[in-house]
Chain A
Amino acid sequence: MPAKIEVKNLSVFYGDFQALHEVGLRIKEHRITAFIGPSGCGKTTLLKTLDRMNDLVDGTRVEGQVLLDGEDIYQPGYKLIKLRKRVGMVFQRPNPFPLSIHDNITYGPRVHGVRDKGTLEGVVERSLQAVHLWDELKDDLKRSALTLTSEQQQRLCIARLAAVEPEVLLMDEPCSALDPISTLRVEELMLELKKNYTIVVVTHNMQQAARISDESGFFYLGRLIEFNRTKTIFTKPANKMTEDYITGRFG
């Protein structure tokens, strides 16, 4: 299977600090790939390089390549707007705009130039349906998104992203602000979404990685220690450090 995203020899520096050391891995299409490891191991940094959100941080330097469908997204002149339409991010805390549910969903399509009301209504319905919020909220689209529960808000954020029809969803600990039951439901949603999207998820939660991901990478101190099928990582890790981490001996 061809890789949707291929990371080659990637190093990231924040000023003098090297946050990632020569990382290489392949993210397969329509799979969930999990990045695990203790805090500060570079997993979120790697996630942010995949849609170049790191560009916003002063003093960031990136070496190496990130290929999206074979094309280096760090090549000079690469169109960031196009990249971010194809690769979207779900953040750690649910962060809907202080706007109505409807306007949250239409935000993305509108910045990409969709004006037609009918088209936008369709997008709202499809996006909310994709995250199973449509039936609950279809009569309440004018309501402020901030009145929703955390789980609904996070689902809405995923729907808001789905509205720009990306190919890759990057999720930065998407369940860390949710209770266990909501977490399970959002995980179910992620398993469903992989039919249409390639998903990369950063998580602190080992069980979560084991439950939902097809492949996992274990990071430690800015290096990719091990990358393999999740089943293999969790049953027969090749590296002692990976084993110690997943069995809870450190981290």
Chain B
Amino acid sequence: MIRLDPALSQKLVRWVLVSLTALTVSILVFIITYVLLKGLPVLGWEFLSTGAVDAGRGGGIFPFIVSTVFITVVALAIATPLGVGTAIYLTEYTRETAATRVVRFAAECLAGIPSIILGLFGFITFVLFLKLGWSILSGGLTLAIMVLPTIIRTSEEAIIAVPQNRRDVSTSLGGTRWQTVTRVVLPGALPGIVTGIMLSVGRCIGETAAVIFTAGSALGTPTSIFASGRTLAVHFYILATETDAFGMAYGTAAALIIAILTINTLAYWMMHRIMRKYS
């Protein structure tokens, strides 16, 4: 075997790692600039504020922005209390038993289910069986199931990371378990929980397969959670597969990417603020 000079091998490793990082970053930058370059010319006030004309070949994406926001809000309004509640129960109200391991394993399995299967499940359960039809509610419920494992896991990790002595102090001052959870544990875990929620927002906005089956692809602006609505991602998918309006598709994609980048930036900014306040 050839033994390399240690100084040389150090240099080599450094060089390899730097190029790997550079490659990763450049892929990301390439995708974003490509989509923005193609999409930004379309993206204007009119595009954002008007409805689609001729199945999206003309007009704008306003109804789809509304649907996306609507579905995401419904999904998180359902998944956040469920997920955070489950995480609190698993970490603060029960000790490690076979049952908690089963719950965790089930959540992990749920996380591994392809979204198209969830879409099918949502279609059968919410759309057909519960007769909710293609609607914001059906889509929101399906997405809630999809992001639930993420919310449970990130919340659990955040809760576990809160130092035990804070709980002990609260208990020794006469705080009940619930008071300890709400006044000491959750404030400390908040940055982590918010991160999990923000990650989930990103996934909801970008999800296609799970919502196309459950929320449908109506072109109008949904006026209630029982109305069908087309999300931005679904609109993009339909434009790209069923029309030749690629310019409009890129405009939609650019709007999606900008939305997700904005949400992530906001999430980080919020996290830093909260972290500064609590640590």
Contacts and interface: CB of A to CB of B under 8 A. Distances in A.
B168 A56 contact: yes
Interface in A37-52: 51
Interface in A109-145: 110-112
B172 A111 contact: no
Given A95-B166, A98-B188, A53 B172 contact: yes
Interface in B154-201: 163, 165-166, 168-176, 179, 183-184, 188
A85 B95 contact: no
A160 B279 CA distance: 19
Interface string A145-175: 0100000000001001100100000000000
Contacts of A24: none
Nearest to A56: B171
Contacts of B184: 97
A89 interface: yes
A146 B184 CA distance: 15
Contacts, number: 55
A107 B278 CA distance: 15
B168 A111 contact: no
Nearest to A144: B277
A4 interface: no
Nearest to B276: A144
Interface residues of B, number: 19
Contact of B171 (A84, A98, A146): A84
A238 interface: no
B278 A111 contact: no
B174 A84 contact: yes
A156 to B, nearest CB: 12
B183 A107 contact: yes
B277 to A, nearest CB: 8
B271 to A, nearest CB: 15
**Dominant secondary structure of chain B at its interface with chain A:** helix
A63 to B, nearest CB: 23
Contact of B168 (A53, A58, A81): A53
Query: Which of A82, A111, A146, A157 has the most chain B CB atoms inside 10 A of its CB?
Result: A111
A233 to B, nearest CB: 28
A234 interface: no
Interface in A52-96: 53, 56, 58, 81-82, 84-85, 88-89, 91, 93, 95
A160 B173 contact: yes
A237 interface: no
Query: Which of B169, B171, B173 has the most chain A CB atoms inside 10 A of its CB?
Result: B173
A111 to B, nearest CB: 4
Contacts of B172: 51, 53, 84, 88-89
A131 to B, nearest CB: 16
B183 A111 contact: yes
Given A91-B168, A93-B165, A111 B188 contact: no
Contacts of A84: 171-174
B183 to A, nearest CB: 7
Contacts of A85: 174
A95 B174 contact: no
Given A97-B184, A98-B278, A98-B279, A164 B165 contact: no
B173 A88 contact: yes
Contacts of A111: 170, 173-176, 179, 183
B171 to A, nearest CB: 7
Contacts of B183: 107, 110-111
Nearest to B278: A98
Contacts of B278: 98
Contacts of A93: 165
A22 B172 CA distance: 25
A139 to B, nearest CB: 21
Given A98-B188, A111-B175, A160-B173, 14 more contacts: A53-B171, A84-B171, A84-B172, A84-B173, A84-B174, A88-B173, A89-B168, A91-B165, A93-B165, A97-B169, A107-B175, A111-B170, A111-B179, A111-B183
Q: Which 3 A-B pairs have the closest CB atoms?
A: A84-B174, A89-B172, A108-B173
9 contacts: A84-B171, A84-B174, A91-B165, A97-B166, A108-B173, A111-B183, A160-B169, A160-B173, A164-B173
Interface of A: 51, 53, 56, 58, 81-82, 84-85, 88-89, 91, 93, 95, 97-98, 107-108, 110-112, 146, 157, 160-161, 164
